[in-house]
């Protein structure tokens, strides 16, 4: 009995190192990348694998040795399906797309590319097995020639505005972009209604934020000014008083803009913020040029 136990124990001791032995890890030929960008109030996440040129022809017709032939569906990268995830409903090149995660497939061409957002995020290299009913949005874009050769396939966000961004794909000497627009206006206006217009005691921060949004988006400037003045009543901040000066300048109230800019300049000097000192100096000079004293 003791001998059997010893043998059994020996087997366990010998087997344990084999069970815990890890597979050798090596660098991926096409490493995975994930990037996230906030556009408006929406988070957009791209997840893709990045192949490199390695001296090959990347895009070309079917008779060439191109690794991505024209007119053939491509997974837009390597390894698993490239995906794009939207935290909210968006508009992509004019097409409404619900919040969610989608496979990004492309059909490259010399003069135009077909872009496809698909419910199928697991298709990978099996690009011939797709189902058209899985496509959520398709649209055409024109390729452009990159300023320099891009060795490793790269996706990025460019041309950002408060509500839009371009998703930019580049590889070798070819690039394509498509535009994503976030639905910002209804969300911000709903917050302003809740926190400012329907609130008996709005905070100075909410008042200032509402005023800045109205100023930036060319809405009712009189309302924006009233909110900003109320925000500045108890504890004026140099950046908020500067915004008041900008609102007044936009309203062509140069005398009021001069007064606000001078107050903001004094506050900024006390805070040792020379960037705002200079910005206020610019408003003061322009207001005086327009007759303010």
What does the alpha-carbon distance between residue 278 and residue 264 come to, in Å, rounded to a whole number? 11
Q: What is the pLDDT of residue 25?
A: 86
The encoded tokens of residue 48 equal 């893709």
pLDDT tens digit sequence for 131-173 = 888 999 999 999 999 999 999 999 999 999 989 999 999 999 9
Q: Identify which of 184, 189, 187 has the alpha carbon closest to the alpha carbon of residue 160.
A: 184
Q: What is the pLDDT of residue 7?
A: 47
Other beta carbons within 10 angstroms of residue 197's beta carbon come to 12
Q: What is the pLDDT of residue 18?
A: 55
What does the alpha-carbon distance between residue 15 and residue 27 come to, in Å, rounded to a whole number? 29
What does the alpha-carbon distance between residue 143 and residue 172 come to, in Å, rounded to a whole number? 12
pTM of the entire predicted model: 0.79
pLDDT in 10s for each residue of the chain, 293 residues: 444 444 444 444 445 555 567 888 888 888 999 999 999 999 999 999 999 999 999 999 888 889 999 999 999 999 999 999 999 999 999 999 999 999 999 999 999 999 999 999 988 777 777 788 899 999 999 999 999 999 999 999 999 998 999 999 999 999 999 999 999 999 999 999 999 999 999 999 999 999 999 999 999 999 999 999 999 998 899 999 999 999 999 999 999 999 999 999 999 999 999 999 999 999 999 999 999 98
Query: 227 by DSSP, 3-state: which?
Result: helix
Q: What is the pLDDT of residue 6?
A: 47
pLDDT tens digit sequence for 235-260 = 899 999 999 999 999 999 999 999 99
Contact in structure between 50 and 41 (CB atoms under 8 Å): no
Q: What is the pLDDT of residue 8?
A: 47
Q: What are phi and psi of 158, to 5 degrees?
A: -135, 170
The encoded tokens of residue 70 equal 């024209």
Q: What is the pLDDT of residue 14?
A: 47
């Amino acid at each position: 009995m003791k001998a059997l136990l010893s043998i059994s124990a020996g087997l366990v001791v010998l087997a344990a190192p084999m069970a815990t032995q890890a597979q050798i890890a090596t660098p991926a030929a096409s490493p995975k990348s994930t990037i996230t960008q906030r556009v408006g109030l929406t988070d957009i996440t791209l997840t893709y694998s990045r192949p490199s040129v390695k001296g090959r022809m990347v895009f070309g017709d079917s008779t060439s040795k191109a690794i991505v032939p024209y007119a053939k569906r491509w997974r837009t990268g390597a390894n698993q399906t490239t995906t794009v995830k939207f935290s909210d409903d968006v508009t992509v090149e004019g097409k409404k797309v619900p919040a969610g995660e989608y496979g990004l497939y492309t059909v490259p061409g010399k003069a135009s590319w077909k872009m496809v957002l698909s419910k199928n995020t697991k298709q990978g290299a099996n690009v011939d097995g797709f189902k058209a009913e899985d496509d959520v949005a398709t649209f055409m874009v024109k390729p452009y020639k990159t300023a320099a050769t891009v060795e490793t396939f790269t996706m990025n966000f460019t041309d950002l505005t408060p509500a839009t961004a371009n998703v930019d794909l580049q590889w070798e000497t070819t690039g394509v972009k498509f535009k994503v627009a976030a639905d910002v206006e209804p969300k911000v206006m709903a917050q302003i209604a809740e926190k400012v217009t329907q609130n008996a005691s709005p905070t100075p921060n909410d008042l200032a934020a509402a005023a800045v949004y109205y100023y930036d988006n060319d809405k009712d400037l009189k309302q924006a000014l009233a909110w900003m003045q109320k925000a500045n009543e108890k504890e004026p901040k140099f950046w908020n008083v500067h915004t008041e000066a900008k609102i007044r300048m936009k309203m062509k109230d140069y005398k009021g803009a001069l007064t606000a800019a001078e107050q903001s300049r004094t506050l900024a000097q006390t805070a040792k913020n020379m960037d705002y000192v200079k910005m206020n100096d610019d408003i003061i000079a322009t207001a005086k040029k327009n007759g303010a004293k």
